Amino acid sequence: MLNIVLFGPPGAGKGTQSQKLIDKYSLIHLSTGDLLRSEIAAGTTLGLEAKKLMDNGLLVPDEVVIGMIENKVKEHPHATGFIFDGFPRTVPQAQGLDKLLHDNNTEISCMIALRVDDEELTSRLLLRGKTSGRPDDQNEELIRKRVQEYNTKTAPVADYYAGQGKFYAVDGIGEIEDIFSTLCQHIDALKEKQKESR
């Protein structure tokens, strides 16, 4: 299986690039941000609790997102691979994901990080906020809070995968198509390696 974690700060382009990758590699897209927003739209208890945190730029508790991902992975027993978008966002989430995949006889193939500086992130999210209707994209202070959450809680997840020799970083600034083709080069090289080791 090809299981990719697409990593990066809020606004790095994870959702944008995931859409393109799932089309090219026929992967199942699992975005915790999208899953949480659908819980909010459905007005579930989980959604109402998550909304309070998300609207303040904070992360949702680990056990909530791990449970959501577990349910989704189980819904696709015949998948050829998954793209994890916006998950894991903490080291305990990464450990939970490793365990879940191990229990399903598979593992993470690689983590690819999109590198984008804070100024560019802020301007992208404020621009998206004009049309997305997302409360967490509406003001600069909240966006900075999300970036700060990323720097303290999420950035260490890169070291977790680097320790397993699975971490790659690409420049996330530039044309969307150029970034996509760099991502594809990494993934194609990985697929070749997987073939050789079979």
User: Does the protein bind ligand B4P through residue 36 (CB under 6 A)?
Assistant: yes
Which residues inside 98-157 make contact with ligand B4P, applying CB under 6 A? 124, 128, 136, 146
Among 10, 39, 81, 96, contact with ligand B4P (rule: CB under 6 A): 10
First-to-last CA distance in the chain?
12
Sheet of 81-85, strand order: 28-31, 81-85, 2-7, 110-115, 167-171
Lookup result for tokens 């090289």: 189
DSSP 188: H
- The sign one gets for the Cα dihedral 49, 55, 60, 65 is positive
User: Does the protein bind ligand B4P through residue 186 (CB under 6 A)?
Assistant: no
User: Does the protein bind ligand B4P through residue 96 (CB under 6 A)?
Assistant: no
Among 5, 21, 27, 33, contact with ligand B4P (rule: CB under 6 A): 33
The residue at minimum Cβ distance from ligand B4P is 33
Lookup result for tokens 């730029």: 57
Q: Site residues (CB under 6 A) for ligand B4P?
A: 10-16, 32-33, 36, 53-54, 58-60, 65, 86-87, 89, 93, 124, 128, 136, 146, 174, 176, 179
